[in-house]
Homo-oligomer: A and B are copies of this chain.
Amino acid sequence: MNKADLIEALAPRLGGRAAATAAVEALVDVVLREVASGGSVAITGFGTFERVQRAPRTGRNPRTGERVPIARTTTPRFRPGSYFKDVVADPAGLPAEGSAGVRGAVVDGAASRSGAPPSVRRSAGEEARGGRAAPASREGRASKRAASGTPSSVRKETPSDAAPVESEAGPSAPGGAGLVFAGGEDITAGMISAKKAQLARVKNDQVIAESTSSSSKKKKNKGGKGKKKGQDGKGKGKATSTNKGKGKG
């Protein structure tokens, strides 16, 4: 999926290609600027874009074998959030768990993607849009609501739009992920509930332990530790960051 594909996928949700284009570009712009200026951009569950300092080190010119000094540099990094990791890991892990039917769906999805030249993909995209034509009117209503500032209403809109995408991309996602996507909910919006459901499944035998921990959490922090974390993290053997850090303590 390239930028155009991404915009195509977003268009139904965001009120058209132009809006989707604006969204992609604006978001990329903001992230770039923030990271370039020393900040970080964190979306819980998805991940964090940040800047890291890399100390000088030695490289090799593979051609000549000559040692080449790699100067200290500053580079962008994305650290995937746990939910992102889980979702990506689950599809791979799930096949063994999943049903054959799900596999079949997986194969179908994969095949269409791998063998599909861009043009074929586009036509598929168009068909998908066709399928979404009906929701278009609903979309108009949604934009109204958006103007009134009701994110949840926008989210409500996502389901019907996302559903077709799910069926396409869903093959490898199903199983646990299917649980997450089945409702057609925006993942970021549903992360917590999804995660909760997962944990509930995995740890339903730990309920007592959880209730214990929740009671301990009610004690709340006192004054907070005010522990300041450097933006570039670990400080272990790391070059000192030029980041100012955000004192939220």
Interface residues, chain A, CB within 8 Å of chain B? 1-3, 5-6, 9-10, 13-19, 21-44, 46-47, 49, 51, 53, 73-78, 80, 83-85, 87-93, 109-111, 113-118, 120, 140, 143, 145-152, 154-155, 158, 162, 165-166, 169-173, 177, 180-181, 186-189, 242-248
Contact B32 A146 (CB under 8 A): no
Contact B84 A26 (CB under 8 A): no
- Rounded to whole Å, the gap between the CB of A50 and the closest CB of chain B is 10
Measured CA separation A158–B24 after assembly (Å) = 12
Number of copies: 2
Contact B80 A78 (CB under 8 A): yes
- B-side contacts of A155, CB under 8 Å: 22, 25-26, 29
Contact A46 B18 (CB under 8 A): no
- B-side contacts of A89, CB under 8 Å: 73-75
- B-side contacts of A111, CB under 8 Å: 244
